[in-house]
Structure 1
Amino acid sequence: MSLENPLWQYALTLYSRPGVEQCCLQLQDQGAVVNRLLFACWLASQGIKLDHDRLHQSGNRWQPEVTRPLRAVRFRVREQLAALPEAEACYRALRQAELVAEQLELMLLWQDGQSWLPDSEVGAALFRHNLQQALGEPYNRVSGVLLLQLQSAAIALLDDD
């Protein structure tokens, strides 16, 4: 396994596109797991249809057990910065730890996806399907406009290659 894998590189590239970071953060605020959305887009770019059950059967517990708790602690520290500016170094360290945890999470997702074979034609319908599968239950609670924005950015990334 490698932290520097094709999914990580794809995620960095997609996330750096105009508007994608803000879009992903808003989706995260609405209950989406951003790394799963990025994984869904990467799979779609490879012609691989994501199956919600298969994704959840992988046993990948990193996000709920490590990444999410780190984020929660970072948010709590951030809330204290006005009253305790000395906590800035702690906040920065937590932000860096969260980034590394997200990279590890993407590595685990990439590892899970290695055995999945292309089975679909790459296109908007596949991206839409994969995003819906990655979201699962929160699909009805997140903004369709934001999902479309992410989907459009991912498709535009394909056109740039």
Structure 2
Amino acid sequence: MTLWDWVVRAYSADGVAETCLELQDSAGQNVPLLLWAAWTAATGRDLDADARADACDMARAWDDSAVAPLRAVRRALKARIPDLEDAAREAIRAQVKAVELDAERRLLAALEALTRAESGPPRSMLDAMVAVARVWSPKTPRPGLMRLAERLPA
């Protein structure tokens, strides 16, 4: 199963979307990166420290230049704007949201390209996400990662 297909299935599981948004907004985590780490574990792909570091570098560069600015615009368009019809604002917001999603999908494709082929049995998704989260930021949100691991499909 491709990473994108796995992420779409995982994101639709009960409570995953909410937990991902909490990890993103409250803990500063990169959701595509976390889901990539979980996918590698679920599909028996091995990640060494260099692979995690390369993935975090790539995700940080893409997040800073594409995803975060798009997210900021989308969120700014959530509020009403004086003298602009709500329908016009919402139409632009929907377009920005689609581009933001496409940017995240392209990050996932780049992360998948960094990944080795399956090499063994499934591993702990929690351990994989914790390892990546430690490289991503100085604080590891273990409780949130535990909630996410519990909700993700095997």
* Structure 1 unmatched runs, 5+: none
CA distance in 2, matches of 1:12, 1:44: 17
CA contact 1:40–1:130 (8 Å) conserved in 2? yes
CA distance in 1, matches of 2:35, 2:63: 14
CA distance in 2, matches of 1:51, 1:64: 24
CA distance in 2, matches of 1:10, 1:139: 28
User: Where do 1:3-42 residues align within 5 Å?
Assistant: 6-29=2-25, 30-42=27-39
- Which residue number in structure 1 is paired with residue 63 of structure 2? 63
Further displaced range: 126-135 or 88-97? 126-135
Please list the CA deviations of residues 55-114 of structure 1 after superposition, one character each: whole Å capped at 9, or x if unmatched. Answer: 3325623232211211112112223x254423111111101111111111111111111x
CA distance in 1, matches of 2:109, 2:12: 19
Figure out how many residues of one structure are paired with residues of the other and give that number: 146
For normalisation by structure 1, the TM-score amounts to: 0.78
Inter-CA distance 7–137: structure 2 relative to 1 (3 Å threshold) = closer
Letter in 2 for 1:105: L
Inter-CA distance 147–31: structure 2 relative to 1 (3 Å threshold) = same
- Which residue number in structure 1 is paired with residue 139 of structure 2? 140
Q: CA deviation at 1:131?
A: 0.6
CA distance in 2, matches of 1:26, 1:51: 27
Q: Does 1:99 align with 2:101?
A: yes
Q: Report the 3-state secondary structure (helix = DSSP H, G, I; strand = E; otherwise coil) of the residue aligned with 1:140.
A: coil
CA distance in 2, matches of 1:137, 1:9: 24
